[in-house]
Structure 1
Amino acid sequence: MPKTDTLIYDVDALIDAVIDREGRYVNHPADRGGPTCWGITEAVARAQGYAGEMRALPRAEAAAIYRRIYWLRPGYDRVGLRAPKIAAELFDTGVNMGTATATGFLQRALNALNRSARDYPDIAVDRDIGPRTLSALDAFLRVRGKGGETVLLRAMEALQGERYIALAERRPSQEAFLYGWLANRIG
């Protein structure tokens, strides 16, 4: 989950924290995303209609892109109404790994925590926030109570950490980013 002193439940604060963490223009040779500005890759910026130089991407445009494709499109706003910490984690992981991967972590964790489907049925890990995922989340929170959101968050972070390490093991060039990922994206 993003480390920030602001309320993690506020999407504007989440977006500002990501933008502050990502910084201005970067074109790291080991980053497969290529040139980025405010954490937005050139490919994403172009797909969202930005035609200017990446170095000149306005912060407000980056914020609008984050809101559209990393908060609203995957349905994290709907998760936020139920479990704000989980929504914040989905957003941050979605920015870094893709929203489908982040959503898959949630679905896998919900399935693993349902006590062999006694609390609620398993759901398909289709990497999409739909009615069944929201229903499973509602049931999990109802059954597990106040501490449930924290445990679910830890499960998702464990999956995220494992993925970072596996990525660095598969592609040694990504070791350049591993420390920062573990320091800034988990916990």
Structure 2
Amino acid sequence: MADFKEAYRITMQNEGGYANDPLDRGGETWRGITRTFWPQWRGWAIIDKIKLASPDNLNQALANDIELNGQILQFYKGNYWDVIKLDSINSQQVANQLFDIAVNMGVGRASKFLQSAIVPAVLVDSIIGPVTLAGANAMEPKVLYDAINVLRAEKYNQIIAANPSQARFRKSWFSRIKPFDSSST
């Protein structure tokens, strides 16, 4: 079964640190958690307190806060990993990619990508249940992983086509799509 901490470590490398890009629909962001979409997250109080102290290196000050790091870990486990039942996925690489998709594009999108990639087909309803999990675990991990990545790339291209201002995020988005590593299966 897949391990949350491994997927979390990989995704946090993608999420980076503090940002407040006016062109990012999420607005103020720390480690991928956006204030716009998660205004009630308890970590914002810690971040606001650290920002008020005006540290020389805000990212370092935030990264060094033990309580904030615990809040982030709980947030991602409870709101992403557990929601799409990634503990029940056999392939760590598939779980890593789905977790990263969930964080970057939402749990509904990650669920639909998983269900759409499963052969033979399962109902695409964004609800990860026993049929979806059995279908995912019955597939060759590389085949499932590659199909999910195709869907992910298509969605990024659709977002950019619909809103060309989002093209500035293309390199970052596509860097998250990693090839399957056959040596780690």
Calculate the TM-score normalised by the size of structure 2: 0.78
Provide structure 1 residue ranges, at least 5 long, that are not aligned to the other structure: 1-8, 115-121, 142-147
CA-to-aligned-CA distance 1:122-149 (integer Å, 9 cap, x gap): 32101111011122224x33xxxxxx11
Does structure 1 conserve the Cα–Cα contact (< 8 Å) formed by 2:136 and 2:144? no
Provide structure 2 residue ranges, at least 5 long, that are not aligned to the other structure: 51-61, 63-67, 180-185
- Asked if residue 102 in structure 1 is aligned to residue 110 in structure 2, the reply is yes
Does structure 1 conserve the Cα–Cα contact (< 8 Å) formed by 2:10 and 2:96? no
In structure 2, the CA distance between the partners of 1:47 and 1:123, relative to structure 1 (3 Å rule), is farther
2:14 corresponds in structure 1 to 21
Does structure 2 conserve the Cα–Cα contact (< 8 Å) formed by 1:42 and 1:54? no
Equivalent residue in structure 1 for 2:93, among 85, 95, 105: 85
- Asked if residue 185 in structure 1 is aligned to residue 184 in structure 2, the reply is no
Q: Could you tell me how far apart the structure 2 residues matched to 1:74 and 1:48 are?
A: 20
Q: Could you tell me how far apart the structure 2 residues matched to 1:53 and 1:169 are?
A: 38
User: Offset of 1:103 from its aligned partner?
Assistant: 1.1
3-state secondary structure, aligned to 1:16? helix
1:165 corresponds in structure 2 to 157
In structure 2, the CA distance between the partners of 1:96 and 1:174, relative to structure 1 (3 Å rule), is same
CA-to-aligned-CA distance 1:3-28 (integer Å, 9 cap, x gap): xxxxxx53213212322332221011
- What CA RMSD, in Å, does the superposition of the two structures yield over aligned residues? 2.0
In structure 2, the CA distance between the partners of 1:27 and 1:42, relative to structure 1 (3 Å rule), is same
Does structure 1 conserve the Cα–Cα contact (< 8 Å) formed by 2:3 and 2:87? no
Matched pairs, number: 161
User: Offset of 1:161 from its aligned partner?
Assistant: 0.2
- Counting aligned pairs with the same residue, the percent is 31
CA-to-aligned-CA distance 1:32-88 (integer Å, 9 cap, x gap): 111100111114543444451645462321122111111112211112xx2222111
1:41 corresponds in structure 2 to 34
Q: Could you tell me how far apart the structure 2 residues matched to 1:60 and 1:35 are?
A: 20
1:30 corresponds in structure 2 to 23
